[in-house]
């Protein structure tokens, strides 16, 4: 029996493959689209049984060739570019593909753990897994939102586990292939190494310079949660963040100070870094106005309610670990 990880060469997918390996699981089918071939680097230290292109995999499940051979699907594959404007592609890739996997898992009575997104909440101030708080701002968010609605309708009559995770701002190892869509921590590390400073947006949406706040969650914590749910078999849609909003200023300072620690230098405050020009503010992009979440903070009541007890890393803890990995 194989564990299937879609988006296996991507950021969270590759970390899940590594997480399965660390638990002794190597019978893994890695599913992805390697049109951008460099993503393969994320799996070079992982053990898998096979690699299948995402289109071929869909053909295999629809033709019945994998019937009885799959233990669980961890579905991370998606177009995650929030600036993507091709709605037809986004819906086919993120929504229709997910529906096919859901149908297969229910027919086979096997678990489906899948990636949703905090983008379903839009710019509202309440981040609770309830319909009244959901209003996505872009087609990426809508593709995730719509699949969540299908899952909600099917949960009561489901024959096997369905667990969706609304990821907040995930950062950590194996995201270098994402380019401009990589985490702010990744970009800050590279900016500081290249120019000795990092760039943040000026004030927007009622927030001061660099004071927009997000729930930044370390990818290692995301892996822990997925592994826990594979064992617990709990179903539902759950926020997966830290439950703690921190500012981009705090994130920038954490990244710079982690770099300074590697140089044997003491930590500095946000005010000190701003005064020295190490943190620099740039105009808020017109293209993001009206499509940007200035504040996110996961409500973890439902996640804790099904017994998930692990403590999530703070930005300072997670970024320190991440910077060590990036500086290898």
Beta-bridged to residue 166, according to DSSP, are 116, 239
Question: Please, which residues have CB within 8 angstroms of residue 273's CB and are 6 or more apart in sequence?
Answer: 252, 253, 256, 279
77's enclosing H/E stretch is none
How far apart CA 72 and CA 283 sit, in angstroms, is 46
**Annotation marks residue 178 as catalytic:** yes
**3-state helix, strand and coil shares in percent for the chain, rounded to the nearest 5:** 45, 20, 40
CB 213 within 8 A of CB 204: no
**Annotation marks residue 140 as catalytic:** yes
Beta-bridged to residue 207, according to DSSP, are 204
| Cβ neighbours of 70 (radius 10 Å) | 18
| Cβ neighbours of 281 (radius 10 Å) | 16
How far apart CA 114 and CA 122 sit, in angstroms, is 20
Query: 2, 51, 178, 197: which one is catalytic?
Result: 178
Query: 121, 140, 171, 322: which one is catalytic?
Result: 140
How far apart CA 84 and CA 133 sit, in angstroms, is 23
Which positions are annotated as active-site residues? 140, 178
């Amino acid at each position: 029996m194989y564990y299937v990880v879609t988006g296996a060469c991507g950021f969270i997918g590759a970390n899940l493959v590594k997480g399965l390996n660390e638990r002794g699981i190597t019978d893994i089918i890695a599913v992805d689209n390697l049109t951008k071939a460099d993503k393969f680097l994320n799996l070079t230290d992982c053990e898998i049984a096979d690699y299948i292109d995402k289109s071929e995999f869909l053909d295999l499940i629809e033709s019945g060739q994998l019937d009885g051979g799959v233990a669980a699907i961890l579905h991370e594959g998606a177009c995650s570019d929030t600036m993507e404007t091709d709605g037809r592609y986004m819906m086919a890739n993120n929504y229709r593909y997910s529906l096919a996997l859901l149908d297969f898992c229910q027919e086979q009575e096997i678990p489906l753990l899948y990636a949703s997104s905090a983008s379903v909440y839009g710019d509202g101030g309440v981040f609770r897994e309830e319909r009244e708080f959901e209003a996505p701002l872009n087609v990426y968010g809508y593709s995730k939102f719509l699949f969540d609605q299908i899952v909600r309708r099917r949960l009561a009559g489901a024959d096997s586990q369905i667990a969706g995770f609304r990821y907040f701002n995930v950062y950590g190892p194996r995201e270098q292939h994402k380019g401009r869509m990589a985490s702010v921590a990744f970009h800050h590390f590279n900016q500081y190494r290249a120019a000795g400073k990092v760039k943040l947006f000026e004030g927007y949406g009622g927030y001061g310079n660099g004071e927009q706040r997000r729930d930044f969650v370390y990818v290692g914590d995301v892996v822990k949660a997925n592994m826990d749910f594979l064992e617990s078999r709990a179903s539902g849609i759950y926020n997966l963040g830290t439950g703690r909003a921190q500012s981009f200023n705090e994130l920038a300072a954490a990244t710079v100070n982690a770099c300074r620690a590697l140089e044997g230098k003491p930590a500095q405050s946000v005010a000190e870094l701003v005064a020295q020009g190490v943190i620099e503010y740039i105009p808020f992009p017109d293209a993001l106005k009206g499509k940007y979440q200035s504040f996110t903070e996961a409500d973890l009541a439902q996640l804790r309610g099904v017994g998930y007890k692990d403590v999530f890393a703070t930005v300072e803890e997670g970024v320190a670990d991440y910077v060590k990995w990036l500086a290898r």
